[in-house]
Amino acid sequence: MKKIRLGRTGIMATRLGFGGIPIQTVTREQAVATVRYCYDKGINFYDTAQAYTVSEGIIGEALEGVRDNVFIATKSGGRDVTAVEKHLAASLEALRSDYIDIYQLHNVVGDESLAKVMAPGGVLDFLKEKKREGVVHHIGITSHRLETILKALKTDEFATIQFPFNYIENDAGRELFPLARRMDVGTLVMKPIAGGAMTHPAACIRWILAQDADVIIPGMESPHLVDANWEAARSGPPTPEDLDKLESLARELGPVFCRRCGYCLPCPSGIPVNFIASAELFFNRSGWHKMNGGHVEGFLKGVDCIGCAECERRCPYELPLTRLVPENSARLLKKARELGVIPD
């Protein structure tokens, strides 16, 4: 497997990395075996997060004894030092390690959040201190919002950026990734298969690896998937048939595919529009067991959407939200009843 220098981190990472979300959905035994299978196959880059429940613990268990042969990136969604300090300690313990290769600020969205983490005495300063102590080797940032991640990149404070990139969500290929390349900042591609929405993963992988981005981190919850992605990553550029498939998928999904960017918010009725628009993909990847009462509250609001269309006007991808929000909410409530999250 081809390796690439991950920007200024100097890390030589396999271009096919491992994304730690879907291993939450299988048994611990299968998850540990899958991560170990990745290692045995030759994958040396693993991405996880405090927010991915058991993911760090699985990776820690699977890679114990070979820790120094791999690179682990994890993240905290904390926006103050107390929270991040707690998350970092928990990550180290779960990963059975005394260092983190890349510690990322998780899903920073909007100017206010970015300003908060970068304020003097804030999270970034705390992580710099941890870097001086050798606990954190490099500091990165992730986001679903292009303007936020571009702004963060331009501060020159981060060694890596992580952003969604796939055949449908390809905005990063225009300005973000080329600028990161010029600044020698490593690029980590999340959602290379559009969070599982694209049904031709091999074509997606061949297409992305032909673009100018460093490491892709598809989620893989079985050795079979690892093999399939490994073969795709080794098989060269996309074929004309791949491009035809991707184009037809893009046409099919484009009108309803939510990028989770959050531009549609706020909704005057307090409906979590972005979550409702992308929830089925989220639960498919992270596990339906994650659905809770808080989500159900959002779905209940969603079925009562008043159709004011404010969200629709704001969505840059022109999703038909006045239709999607109540429809998706009704489907999600039905599922919540089936799962016993709410009484039948």
Q: If binding is defined by CB under 6 A, does position 263 make contact with ligand SF4?
A: yes
Of the candidate spans 2-10, 64-72, 148-156, 261-269, the one that interacts with ligand SF4 by CB under 6 A turns out to be 261-269
CB-wise, 43 or 315, nearer to ligand SF4?
315
Q: Decide if residue 315 touches ligand SF4 (CB under 6 A).
A: yes
- Which span (15-23, 280-288, 306-314, 332-340) binds ligand SF4, by CB under 6 A? 306-314
- Beta-bridge partner residues of 3: 14
Determine if 279 is a binding residue for ligand SF4 (CB under 6 A): no
> Among 90-98, 201-209, 268-276, 332-340, which window interacts with ligand SF4 (CB under 6 A)?
268-276
Q: At what angle do helices 81-95 and 123-132 cross, to 10 degrees?
A: 40
The nearer residue to ligand SF4, 32 or 264, going by C-beta atoms, is 264
267 counts as binding ligand SF4 under rule CB under 6 A: yes
Q: Up-side HSE of residue 34: CA atoms within 13 Å toward CB?
A: 28
CA distance 150 to 282: 25
Q: Which two tokens stand for residue 2?
A: 């081809």
Of positions 56, 101, 169, 310, contacts ligand SF4 by CB under 6 A: 310
Q: What is the DSSP letter of 135?
A: S
Q: Which is nearer to ligand SF4, 87 or 301 (CB)?
A: 301
Instruction: Give how far the C-alpha of residue 303 lies from the chain's centroid of Cα atoms, to the nearest Å.
Output: 28
Q: Which helix (H) or strand (E) holds 208?
A: helix 201-209
Contact 122, 80 (CB under 8 A): yes
Q: How many residues bind ligand SF4 (CB under 6 A)?
A: 27
Least spacing, CB of residue 285 vs ligand SF4, in Å: 16
- Concatenating the DSSP letter of every residue in 237-284 gives SPPHHHHHHHHHHHHHHGGG------TTPPPTT---HHHHHHHHHHHH
271 is an interface residue for ligand SF4 by CB under 6 A:
yes
Residue whose token pair is 């009484």: 343
Smallest gap from Cβ 279 to ligand SF4, in A, equals 11
Q: How far is the CB of 150 from ligand SF4 (least distance, A)?
A: 16
Q: Do 99 and 72 meet the contact criterion of CB atoms below 8 Å apart?
A: no
Binding residues for ligand SF4 (CB under 6 A) = 258-264, 267-269, 271, 273-274, 277, 305-311, 315, 317, 319, 321-322, 325
